[in-house]
Amino acid sequence: MTDETFRLETRAWLAENCPPEMREPLRSEKDICWGGRSYVPSSPAQKDWLERMAARGWTVPDWPKAYGGGGLSPAETKILREEMAAINARNPLNSFGISMLGPALLKYGTEEQKLDHLTKIAKGQIRWCQGYSEPNAGSDLASLATSAEDMGDHYRVNGQKVWTSYADQADWIFCLVRTDKAVKQGGISFVLFDMASEGVSTRPILLISGNSPFCETFFDDVKVPKAGRVHDENKGWDVAKYLLGHEREMISGMGLGGSGGNPLIDGAIATVGLDRDGRLADPLLRASIALFEVRARAFGAMSERFIDELKAGRAHPAQPSMMKYYGTELNKTRHELMMSAGGSDALEWDSERSHGGAHARSWLRTKANSIEGGTSEIQLNIIAKRILDLPS
Ligand SMILES: Cc1cc2nc3c(=O)[nH]c(=O)nc-3n(C[C@H](O)[C@H](O)[C@H](O)COP(=O)(O)OP(=O)(O)OC[C@H]3O[C@@H](n4cnc5c(N)ncnc54)[C@H](O)[C@@H]3O)c2cc1C
């Protein structure tokens, strides 16, 4: 099939199968579909959209069909994304399984692990969380101390993770554990286990935005079968770094602003209005938004090229750090400008007309963008060392 035929067929299929409600901008966290064992659809349309896309393998269009994917080529995947964007279609499934664990399993997993876990991720049946950070291991992640003691056919895991996003709602965890105390990076293994295992507990942490998807996660004598280890024992650091590249790429996508029109420009027009020439009436805000839009479009072009290179295995290992740094800076600026455009009204926190302070809460949430997935300082260190070749 030519790319043009694929585009026309995809357009027709989306027109017929993407429910109108799934073309509306996201209004709250409830509108995001995370899947998982305890998933309760927020509407019949959300359920239909997930099921229809999963049935075609289009929740993970470029994964092989054998693992629940769509088996699409890079060009077809891009066409699908463009056609979805053209009708403002929502992402049918948001998942750390798709954006983080999946790519790592495709590279390092056994055939059995791929067939089991990837298929469930593609259908949204299992929701994953990430057990990397610990109270004394954040930027210096390789200092992690959660121990996995060899018990023959399984590991006995003890320790604590922190900032584990959605740990209290996740079904399974991908987790870094220490299998050798004598060496730092070379003593880490990457394991997968069920959050319902005996000895796992979670405690939510409150954030400045008022929402609390973040948890402390505790492991007390958790029995983890060795079949859940990805890659060799003590080789988990390779998997961890590879996954982090994909996480950083995913986070950088925030710089692109998501689907559903341009809330910055629409919001600015709604609050300050247009002058006689049809331009935004506030010249200072207009200049700031124009500069921002130029940067955002340049980032969009760069990111498209970087993602192609990443998928083709031709990317420089530090490219995700460049994307993560710049994409998160853009997202923070976008929200600062939205707050400027909204004036004091934008600070409303609880009112009905502000949808419970949606703008203000999103703005505060963006402050964490330059911390999650590795801080901006760490990304700049990587760029300085690996790309600019500066001394440590
Ligand atoms: C919203 C959010 C979601 C998260 N979700 C998860 C999750 O699901 N799973 C998970 O495992 N973790 C998660 N994290 C944790 C995140 O990965 C860590 O917060 C991050 O890696 C930084 O570690 P830290 O908080 O310990 O800060 P620290 O490492 O203590 O850093 C403190 C400050 O020192 C600076 N710093 C540290 N070392 C250097 C250096 N060498 N050079 C220059 N500056 C330095 C940092 O940039 C930072 O400003 C999340 C964090 C946030 C904010």
* Residue-wise pLDDT tens digits, 171-218: 999 999 999 999 999 999 999 999 999 999 999 988 776 767 889 999
Question: From residue 380, how far is each of 46, 103, 213, 245, 386 by CA, in Å?
Answer: 39, 24, 27, 14, 10
- pLDDT tens across the length of the chain (392 residues): 899 999 999 999 999 999 999 999 887 778 899 999 999 999 999 999 999 999 999 999 999 999 999 999 999 999 999 999 999 999 999 999 999 999 999 999 999 999 999 999 999 999 999 999 999 999 999 999 999 999 999 999 999 999 999 999 999 999 999 999 999 999 999 999 999 999 999 999 887 767 678 899 999 999 999 999 999 999 999 999 999 999 999 999 888 876 656 888 988 998 899 999 999 999 999 999 999 999 999 999 999 899 888 888 888 989 999 999 999 999 999 999 999 998 888 888 888 888 788 889 889 989 999 999 999 999 999 999 999 999 87
DSSP letter, residue 273: -
Pocket residues: Cβ below 6 A from ligand 1: 129-133, 138-139, 161, 163-165, 214, 368, 371-372, 374-375, 377-378, 381
Best mutation site among 375, 376, 380 for ligand 1, i.e. most ligand atoms within 8 A of its Cβ? 375
Q: Which two tokens stand for residue 14?
A: 């989306």
The rounded distance, in Å, linking the Cα atoms of 32 and 95 is 10
> What is the Å distance from ligand 1's center to 102 Cα?
23
Tell me: the pLDDT tens digits for 57-86? 999 999 999 999 999 999 999 999 999 999
**Residues belonging to the active site:** 247
Q: Which two tokens stand for residue 165?
A: 């996003």
